[in-house]
Amino acid sequence: MILQALNDYYRRKCDDPDPAQRLPVFGLEQKEIPFVLEMTADGELVQLLDTRSLNEKKKKVAQTFRVPQGVKKTSGIAANLLWDTLEYVLGVDTKGKPERVAEQHAQFVARIQALPQIAREDVGIQAILKFFESFNLPQLEAQPAWAQALESNAVMSFRLRGDVDLVCQRPAVVKAVLNVTTDADARLAMCLVTGEDAPIQRLHASIKGVWGAQSSGANIVSFNARAFESYGKTERQGENAPVSQAAAFAYTTALNHLLRKDSDQRIQVGDASTVFWADRDSEFESIAADIFGDPPKDDPDRGAHAVQALFKAIQSGKQGGLDDNNRFHVLGLAPNAARISIRFYHCLPLAELGERISQHFKDLEMVRGLYDPQYPSLKRLLQAVCLATSGQPHGDIERVPPNLGGAIVDAVFAGADVPYPSLWLNAAVGRCRAEQNVNYYRAAAIKACLNRHMRRSSVTPTNLSPEKEFLPMLDLTNINPAYRLGRLFAVLERIQEASAGGPGKLNSTIRDRYYGAASSTPVAVFTTLLRLKNAHLKKLTVGQAAWFEKLLGEILDSVTDFPKHLPLPDQGRFALGYYHQRQDFFTKKPDNSTPITEGNPS
C-alpha cells in the first residue's frame, strides 16, 4: 500500500507543471554537481566551472542536474555513468591510494565505452573520450577552482562549450541510458507494486533524509541474510519481495523528494521523519507541515493561519468544497539499525483528515493568557514537558523521549477515540510537579490526554458511568475530587497573595513549597494549608474574607475526604483544576456575573 501510493505520487510529479518540482524519469536522478568540466568538441578543456552559489544561510550550495541514476556504493569499486567523484572521473589520487584510484578511473571510462553505438557517436561522448586520450593534468591544476575540488574529492561531470545541459543530459545519451539501466541477468516476476511482469530490482536505492539513519542512506526493502529469505528465493536479495526496477526507482525517488532538506511536505517529530502527500494536487500537502511544524521566526503566525485555512475548508467542505475522493497520506519513518522502520502510516480522505486535525486542536483548547497561542505547535507542546537547559525559556527538545512526538502525530491521524500516548500525560504531570508550575502548554496536554482516555473508555462497556470530559475553562459542575482539590489549592494560594497585597508581592507562595505534595498526597498537606489560611483571611477586609469563605465552601461541598494518594491521572485532574481556577481569577467577568463565579472580589 505504501509503495503503491509513493509510486502513484511519483507518476504525478513526473508531469508537474513546475520544472523545479518535476521528478526525474526512470533511470535518472537529481544530483548536486559542484564542478563541471567544460570542453570543446575536440576534447580541449575550456574551464573547470564551479556551480556553487551562496544560499540564504550564506552556505555554498551546488547546482542540481538530472543525471543517470547512481550506483549503490559499497566497499568495492563501482563507477557512475558520466558523473562521479574527482578520483573516478580524472583518476587523480586524493587519499593516498593511487592503485585503487587507477582502477576506479578505468571502470569509469569503461562504462562510457560500453554505451550503445548511438550514444558513442554523440559529439559529447566523443569529446569526453578525446579529453581522456589527451588528459593534461597541469592544465587542470592551473584552474582557480581546482584546489577546492581536489581537497573535497568533489563530484563532477562534463559539458560541451555553449551547451546549457550536461553531456549526460543530451537526448541521444539519455535514450541510451534508459536502455541499459536494467541488469542483463534481471529475472522477470510479477511486481508487488504494479502487478505487472517486469525485471526485478535486486538492490533498491537508498532513502536519504531520515533523521538518525545512516548519512549515506538506508533501505525500506532489503534482505541481507538467509534468515530473512523464504520460499527458496535465496540467490538474489530482491526476489524475496519482487519490486520491478521501474517501481523501485519510482518509490525511492518520490520518498527522497519528500524527505529533502527544503521540503514543505515533511516535519521532524522526535525520531519520526513524517511526510505528507495527496493523490492529487492539494494545498494541504504543504499546509499539514505548517500545522504541526514549528513556525519560522520571520512568520510566527504561519501555523495559526494554516489551521484557520483548514477550518474554513472543513466548513466549506460541508457544502462539497472538499474533495472526498482525494486521499491524503501521512507516513512516519524512523531509523532502525541499517534499515528504515515504518513508525506509522495513515491514508484517509481530505475531509476526514481535516476533521481529525480539527479534533486535535479542540482537545487542546484551553483558556489562555494574552500571549499564549490559540493553536500551540507540537514542538512547543513537547518542549513544555521536558527539562529546560540553564537560561532557556523553553524545555530542551533534545531531552524529549524520541518516540513521543511520532506517537502523538499517530494518535492525531488515527481518530478522536484513539488515546494520546500515556507518556505524554506522565511527562506533563511530572514537569508540573518538578517545577511547581502548571502553564498553558502543560494544561492543554493534560486535558487532551485525559479527554481522549475518557472518550475511549466511554465506548468500552463498563458498569461505571462515563466521566464528563473537561472543558477549556473552569467547570463549576465538575465534582471530581482531584479536580476540586486543584481548585481548592488555587484558592488557598490566592488568599495568601491577597493577604500580602496582591500577586507578585511574595517571593514564593504555597505553590512553590507544597504543590508536589498537594497533588500526590493531599491528606498530608491540606489540613495544614486550611489551618494557615485562617491567619491570611484575618488580613483581608470583611467582604473579601466572606467571598473567599463562600468560594471555599462551594468547592469543598462535594469533597468528603482528602485522599491519601492520587494516581497519576488524578494528578492531571488536580493540575487542571488548579489551572482553571487560577485563570478564572484573572479573567474579566461580565457585569451580571454571580459572586460565586467571580474571580477577583472587589
Secondary structure (3-state) at 278: strand
Same domain, 434 and 485: no
Q: Is the pLDDT of residue 496 over 50?
A: yes
Are residue 460 and residue 519 in the same domain, yes or no? Answer: no
Average per-residue pLDDT for the chain: 85
Provide the grid cell at 235. Answer: 540467490
Helices 568-585 and 440-458 pack at an angle, to 10 degrees, of 130
Domain identity same for 353 and 428 = yes
How sure is the predictor about 233, in pLDDT bands with cuts at 50, 70 and 90? low
Q: Is residue 4 part of a domain?
A: no
Shared domain for 353 and 438, answered yes or no, is yes
Q: Are residues 371 and 416 in the same domain?
A: yes
Q: What percent of the chain has pLDDT over 70?
A: 87
User: Which of 444, 472, 500 is the C-terminal boundary of a domain?
Assistant: 472
Task: Return all residues near 109 (Cβ < 8 A) that are at least 6 apart.
Answer: 129, 132
User: Across 55-165, where does the E strand assignment appear?
Assistant: 60-61, 63-68, 83-85, 155-160
283 CB neighbour count, 10 Å cutoff: 12
Whether 236 has a pLDDT exceeding 90, the answer reads no
User: What mean pLDDT comes out for the span 60-79?
Assistant: 86
For range 88-95, the mean pLDDT: 93
pLDDT band at 183 (very low <50, low <70, confident <90, very high): low
- Highest-confidence segment of 70-79, 123-132, 377-386: 123-132
Judge contact between 491 and 548, C-beta under 8 A: yes
Residue 512 pLDDT greater than 50, yes or no: yes
294 plus 396 within the same structural domain: yes
User: What is the pLDDT confidence band of residue 91, given thresholds at 50, 70 and 90?
Assistant: very high
Instruction: Tell me whether residue 261 is in a domain.
Output: no
Q: Are residues 509 and 429 in the same domain?
A: no
Residues 337-347 have a mean pLDDT of 86
- The predicted pLDDT at position 255 comes to 94
Is residue 171 assigned to a domain? Answer: yes
Mean pLDDT lowest among 169-173, 291-295, 424-428, 586-590: 586-590
pLDDT greater at residue 570 or residue 353? 570
- 426 and 289: one domain? yes
Instruction: Scan for cell 524545555, then name that residue.
Output: 395
Q: What is the pLDDT of residue 392?
A: 62
Give the Cα separation of 283 and 560 in Å (integer): 55
The answer to whether residue 85 is domain-embedded is yes
- Sign of dihedral through CA atoms 536, 542, 547, 549? positive
Mean pLDDT of 22-26: 81
In a domain, 116, yes or no: yes
Q: Same structural domain for residues 458 and 484?
A: no
Q: What is the DSSP string of 392-446?
A: -SS--GGGS-TTHHHHHHHHHHH-TTSPPPHHHHHHHHHHHHHHT---HHHHHHH
Rounded CA-CA distance 263/275 in Å is 9
Name the band, by pLDDT with cuts 50, 70 and 90, for residue 44.
very high
Residue type, 580: H
Domain boundary (443, 472, 501) is at 472
End residue of a domain, out of 144, 179, 214: 179
pLDDT band at 229; cut points 50, 70, 90: low
Q: Round to whole Å and give the CA distance between 456 and 454.
A: 5
178 confidence band (pLDDT: 50, 70, 90): low
Check whether 254 has a pLDDT greater than 90.
yes
Number of domains in the chain: 3
Mean pLDDT value across residues 497-506? 86
pLDDT interval class at 594 (50, 70, 90)? very low
| Residues 166 and 80 occupy one common structural domain | yes
Distances, alpha carbon 116 to alpha carbons 41, 177, 180, 184, 354, in Å? 20, 9, 8, 14, 52
- pLDDT of the residue at 389: 60
10 occurs within a structural domain = no
Q: Is residue 385 part of a domain?
A: yes
Contact residues for 318 (Cβ-Cβ < 8 A; gap 6+): none
Q: How many CB atoms lie under 10 A from the CB of residue 546?
A: 14
Task: Give CA 524 to chain center in angstroms.
Answer: 44
Confidence class for position 317, pLDDT limits 50, 70, 90: low
Same-domain pairing of 435 and 575: no
Give the pLDDT confidence score for residue 321 in this predicted structure.
46
Tell the residue number behind the cell numbers 570543446, with chain if given: 40
Question: How many angstroms separate the CA atoms of 218 and 212, rounded?
Answer: 10
pLDDT of residue 206: 87
Q: Is residue 200 part of a domain?
A: no
Q: Are 266 and 277 in contact (CB under 8 A)?
A: no
Residue 325: HSE in the Cβ half-sphere, 13 Å Cα cutoff: 0
Query: 87 near 93, Cβ under 8 Å?
Result: yes
Q: Please check the confidence at residue 580 and state whether its pLDDT lies above 80.
A: yes
Q: Could you tell me what percentage of the chain is helix, strand and coil, using 3-state DSSP and rounding each to the nearest 5?
A: 45, 15, 40
pLDDT(319) > 70: no
Exposed/middle/buried for 469, CB within 10 Å: 0-12, 13-18, 19+? middle
* Domain housing 456: 278-328+347-472
**Poorest-pLDDT segment among 135-144, 331-340, 413-422:** 331-340
Q: Quote the CA–CA distance of 271 and 334 in Å, as a whole number.
A: 6
How far is residue 247's CA from residue 4's CA, in Å, rounded to a whole number? 8
If one compares 568 and 377, the residue with the highest pLDDT of the two is 568
The residue to which cell 492520587 is assigned:
566
- Say what the pLDDT of residue 76 is: 84
Does residue 478 share a domain with residue 391?
no
